[in-house]
Chain A
Amino acid sequence: MSSGDYDVIVIGAGPGGYVAAIRAAQLGLRTAVIERAHLGGICLNWGCIPTKALLRSAEIAHLVAEGESFGIHAGKARIDIEAVVARSRSVARELNTGVGFLLKKNGVDVIWGSAKLLGSGEIEVSAAARSSRPDPEPSKDALGPGRYKAKHIIVATGARPRVLPGLEPDGDRIWTYFEAMLPPSLPKSLLIAGSGAIGIEFASFYHALGVEVTVVELLDQILPAEDAEIAALARKLFEKDGIRILTGAKVSEVKRGKGGITASVVDASGKSEQIAAERLISAVGVVGNIDGLGLESVGVKTERGLIVADGLARTNVAGIYAIGDVAGAPMLAHKAEHEGVICVEAIKGLDVHGLDKLRVPGCTYSRPQIASVGLTEQRAKAEGRDIRVGRFPFRANGKALALGERDGMVKTIFDAGTGELIGAHMIGAEVTELIQGFVIAMQLEATEEDLMRTVFPHPTLSEMMGESTLAAYGKALHIPPAAPPAGKVRT
């Protein structure tokens, strides 16, 4: 091509890809990013961000409904779902524009289209099929189809909803997260298959707006990635709130009718139940976007639908890298961002280390919120580690009571031998904003002693983080001792 070759071309402008591109440009590398649908990727356009906007509306609906307990009589809330969705879309649009602006100001070229690897650093970009979704128009500065060449190619193509046989989305009765984010109207009832973060967030959102929600999970616990104790407490709180939850159960057959669907849900014992709902959301996980990229033709190794890459994002083919969802779990935007930065810094020759995935936090923005980092208690025990576990309940925290948020828990797990914080699991109000404290502690390799000496401001929810640490060592101040002290001095 006439304008010369690139040092780095990133395929996919999601949170991993556009961040990698910006970092590459900061490091003085000539950089381009290829995108076929939307700057900012799923996260920003159809994932993390717009769902947080929806959940904010749900939270306000909840507070209005609870208003009387705070002495505020606002009457019955009327939900204008069109306005709720419109606000969510406007937030996504604002950020999408922001990404385009950042890329431009950093001198990153945007190439619009679908990419295919040709080998020897060459990429063929063809015009992308327009999706049926209301995605923003590509920017006018974007380069078009053609052949491009780069010394380093970073594949950051992300993932898409997994489709199970019998649960094929039809855009009408069976939704994926795309449609679930754009409800034309509120259904009366909703069946959600899958209880990962996506399924649970939609359950929480729709339930708060008055929809009758049933969640079906194949495994024995909801939020299968979370600590079992936290997941059990989450389930209890969701059920208390009125969400119906079936675990160890499978949506085996779905009949589409005029007014909705009827699903056969089979439990572990083989007992079948017919559940009728107006819509069904299929939230049974995501799969990597590895098709049509020419990965096979250039010999990039893939495994179970994902690209195999090492800690510095290098694939088995020199000059080709993979970051984010397409390179494997945990499939989270912040993990993708860090992999992108590490990948590019390694390309530049900086002294970097692979991401420690045990220090990648995960958040679910339902009500109650769930946030965690590190090992669950079950996994720590399965690994044979000698651990100390601390727990502190929301109901013993002054700020939680003042907020009217008495349900929740902060759980910490320490290595008994070294005092290393190896896991933190939280459920309750605002825990998604609290978890970073434990993530920083882990990153700086704090021990229990450092956490105990950290002064948490009073009155805040964060005080529970200190108390949970104390509790792990039998020294919590604001809950009674587990066993009578019997004169024993706890040093």
Chain B
Amino acid sequence: MSVAASERIRISPLARRLAKQAGLTLEALAGSGPHGRIVKRDIEAAIEGGAKPSPSESAAPTHREVAVASPPAALADDKILALYDKGSYELLPHDKMRRVIAERLTLAKQTIPHFYLSMDCRIDELMRARERMNAASPADGPRAYKLSVNDFIIKAMALALQEVPAANATWTEAGMLRHKYSDVGVAVAIDGGLFTPVIRHAEVKSLSEISNEMRDLADRARKRRLAPHEYQGGTTSISNLGMYGIKTFDAVINPPHATILAVGAAERRPVVSGDALVPATVMSVTLSCDHRVVDGAIGAALLGAFRAFVEDPVRMLV
């Protein structure tokens, strides 16, 4: 029960009602009341800040409706419980974030025809460039930065989408939404779930800007202090499990995006260069594509453009 208690969203009754009326989800509203409680002024600020009704809330007013409407029905709780001895498990109630994750990803897997493309990227140049850039950062102050490999990946993905605009799109029944900007969501694991805050217009931002913005967003995501407009929307996303030693994996697309890039660990591997085996730093990435939007060749072009940027990072400066 302690898990459930710590994940309870602290919110005033009035704020809860105002959020519902405005169609806002509560998970990442910044609470400014005592103990981070979400209060009226936070909802007003979120609405003023341009928070849009969350897709899940506007499309499906209640969780129950979604569950009922989603064919095929999942195995009923009592049938599942019957498979296990009483006392052999502990039942932890879902918090709202867990329910939203379950819904969104079920929706994604049921409605988006996924396919997957993988590639290895040699990133020795990137690692060297990163080292030199970080060495040049001021020690502190507003202009200080510490670039991570992921910052380069965000930038490279943003630029690749500009090179292959057909992949920077969203399926709607009315037509294809062709996005002008590269708004890159980055999955951030937090206690009890995850958020995908969005770096907007990442194609025009410098690496240090991306890096500092990402650090701030990730930090506030962990504290559940993001405003809805900071994690809603976006045109693609990146999920990086490299720090856990994962070599490759396939990610589930985060609607309404058409792609998501699953990034594995950068590791020293033997690579055939000419006829010789040479050691190199290699990172495997897998692009999940929504086939309604991105066909195989377009997905391959996007991934190729991405690889060209990360393998020769100087090109990102152009």
Contact = CB atoms under 8 A, between A and B. Distances in A.
Given A418-B18, A418-B21, A419-B14, A445 B32 contact: no
B12 A418 contact: no
Contacts of A444: 12-13
Interface residues on B, range: 10 to 19
Contacts of A447: 13-14, 17
A450 interface: yes
B32 A418 contact: no
A449 B14 CA distance: 10
A420 B14 CA distance: 6
Contacts of B17: 418-419, 447
Contacts of B307: none
Which secondary structure dominates chain B's binding surface?
helix
Interface in A348-390: 351, 353
A151 to B, nearest CB: 24
A91 interface: no
Which secondary structure dominates chain A's binding surface?
loop
Contact of A449 (B13, B15, B18, B32): B13
Nearest to A420: B14
B9 interface: no
A3 B12 CA distance: 47
A446 interface: yes
A419 B12 CA distance: 13
B309 to A, nearest CB: 41
Interface in A327-357: 351, 353
Interface in B1-57: 12-15, 17-18, 21, 32, 39-41
B14 A418 contact: yes
A410 B204 CA distance: 60
A447 B21 CA distance: 14
A418 B13 CA distance: 10
Contacts of B32: 351, 353
Interface in A397-435: 417-420
Contacts of A446: 12-14
Contacts of B41: 353
A445 B13 contact: yes
B21 A445 contact: no
Interface string A423-467: 000000000000000000000111101100000000000000000
A446 B15 CA distance: 9
A420 to B, nearest CB: 5
Nearest to A449: B13
B20 to A, nearest CB: 10
Nearest to B14: A445
Interface in A169-228: none
Contacts of B21: 417-418
A342 to B, nearest CB: 13
Contact of B13 (A351, A353, A450): A450
A351 B39 CA distance: 15
B228 to A, nearest CB: 19
A374 to B, nearest CB: 13
B17 to A, nearest CB: 6
Interface in A11-36: none
Contact of B39 (A419, A445, A449, A450): A445
Contacts of A418: 14, 17-18, 21
A438 to B, nearest CB: 14
Nearest to B41: A353
A382 B184 CA distance: 46
A271 to B, nearest CB: 49
Contacts of A351: 32
Contacts of B12: 444-446
B198 to A, nearest CB: 26
Nearest to B11: A445
Residue of B13, B21, B39 with most chain A CB atoms under a 10 A cut-off: B13
A447 to B, nearest CB: 5
Contacts of B40: 420, 445
Given A445-B15, A445-B40, A447-B14, 12 more contacts: A351-B32, A353-B32, A353-B41, A418-B18, A418-B21, A420-B14, A445-B12, A445-B13, A445-B14, A445-B39, A446-B12, A447-B13
Interface of A: 351, 353, 417-420, 444-447, 449-450
Interface of B: 12-15, 17-18, 21, 32, 39-41
14 contacts: A351-B32, A353-B32, A353-B41, A418-B21, A419-B14, A419-B17, A420-B14, A444-B13, A445-B40, A446-B12, A447-B13, A447-B17, A449-B13, A450-B13
Q: List the 4 closest pairs (A to B, CB-CB), nearest first.
A: A445-B12, A445-B14, A447-B13, A450-B13
